[in-house]
Amino acid sequence: MRQRRTRLVAAVLALILIVVSVAAWRWWHNHPPYGPETLAIKSSLTFVGNEQAQAALGELGSAPLASGRDQLLLGRVSWQTLPKPLDGGYFALFLIDKRTNHKPEVFGVAAPQEAVGIGSAGIENRIAERYSWLRGAGDATFGDDEYRSNGNRLHVADGKASPLTFVALFPYVDEPDPELPMATAPVAMSDLLLALVYLGPDGQVYWAQRLQG
């Protein structure tokens, strides 16, 4: 009887150890290596013309071309040296029109392509699920089960890409098509949200920092 009880206690303790180990691993896996306050992030946004846009990007990038009533937005984001390398993780820089939760389609960036990319990723829907103020980070939804790409964001794979300079194009649309999820002109500075999100190598959403708006 005593031996049976000893085995039962040992089994319970082993189960508790497994549960605690899994919980500890999950905490470690999802715990950010550092917070946004460590980076002392600075940012600025300015509406510019074609010449100013290209001058800001210099030889490292090609600015989108605005015509007619299109608008160009020049953005700059900088951060201090990272305490640890990104190691497969990345920063996602989102520029969002808060009126529609849409993002621009076209960017010009003053950085090598291997350091900063332009696009979107389905895994970033997790950002919108976690942060209600970043709904525009995810796909656009139509009805109950239809999802569409909602513009683009900047994917920063190299922490040494600071300071990061970019130009976003907001094409003028007289009557925006609700079926076409992309940010368009006319847009005011007060309509815009700029945010930096840190994601881990397995898509963990470590943190999101509102920079503008």
Q: Does pLDDT of 26 surpass 70?
A: no
- What local confidence, expressed as pLDDT, does residue 30 receive? 61
Pair (141, 121) in one structural domain: yes
Pair (170, 202) in one structural domain: yes
Residue with the bigger pLDDT between 130 and 178: it is 130
Pair (159, 114) in one structural domain: yes
pTM of the model: 0.84
Listed in order, strand segments (DSSP E) in the chain are 42-48, 71-78, 90-97, 106-109, 116-119, 140-142, 146-148, 153-156, 164-170, 192-199, 205-212
Pair (89, 173) in one structural domain: yes
How far apart CA 63 and CA 52 sit, in angstroms, is 9
Domain that holds residue 155: 34-212
Residue 98: CATH number of its domain = 2.60.40
Per the structure, how many domains does the chain have? 2
Q: What is the pLDDT of residues 100-126, one digit of tens each?
A: 999 999 999 999 888 999 999 989 999
Edge-to-edge strands of the sheet including 106-109? 42-48, 71-78, 164-170, 106-109
Q: What is the pLDDT of residues 116-155, one digit of tens each?
A: 999 999 899 999 999 999 999 998 776 666 667 789 999 9
